[in-house]
Structure 1
Amino acid sequence: MSLALIFGCLWALAATVVAMLPMRQQYAPGIALLAAAPLLITLIWWDLGWVWGGLALAGVLSMFRRPLAYLWRRLRGGAPERIE
């Protein structure tokens, strides 16, 4: 297994652990994971090709769909919804 894929698996495990934390404690590690995701996806894409890179991208988009939708709405100037 390549080093990029090992880092990807560790990233997914870290994201799962962060998701189990209470909401107030998720912000700092969640932002760090979200910031590391493009670098990790690029590394996987570069080392293993577009299929594995696309799967990594789909996984990140799946795990962070709500925060990314919120950021997208904010960037477009819309009012973000509050989902409880």
Structure 2
Amino acid sequence: MNLSLILACLWALLANVLAMLPSKDNGWRRAYFLVAVGVPLLGYVTYQNGPWWGLFVLAAGMSVLRWPVIYLGRWVKGLFGGDKPAT
């Protein structure tokens, strides 16, 4: 196991520990921190190990940070008129 995968495992462990701690803002500040650290780490994993490992780490990160991904999907859907009534 190389350095990028070890760092990705440490990121996942940190994300799970941070999810267990109580928070007044429902963990959004921690989610922003995890995204800011995770995106470059995802690039590093993809660079060292290839796109399949990058997709695997991306899926793992999306499962941990599922609410930011859900809100991003809703925002993109709203941009493209997904909430318009049928005529």
Report the Cα distance in structure 2 between the residues aligned to 1:42 and 1:9, rounded to whole angstroms.
15
Percent identical among aligned pairs is: 38
Structure 1: distance between partners of 2:37 and 2:53: 17
Unaligned runs of 5+ in 1: 79-84
Amino acid at match of 2:51: W
Query: Quick one: higher RCO (CA 8 Å, sep 6+), 1 or 2?
Result: 2
Tell me how many residue pairs correspond in the alignment.
78
Does the Cα contact within 8 Å between 2:18 and 2:30 map onto a contact in 1?
yes
TM-score normalised by L of structure 1: 0.78
Aligned: 1:23 with 2:26? no
Q: Work out whether 1:6 is the aligned partner of 2:6.
A: yes
Partner of 2:85: none
**After the TM superposition, which segments of 4 or more aligned residues of structure 1 sit over 4 Å from their partners?**
none
Query: Which structure 2 residue ranges, 5 or more long, are not aligned?
Result: 82-87
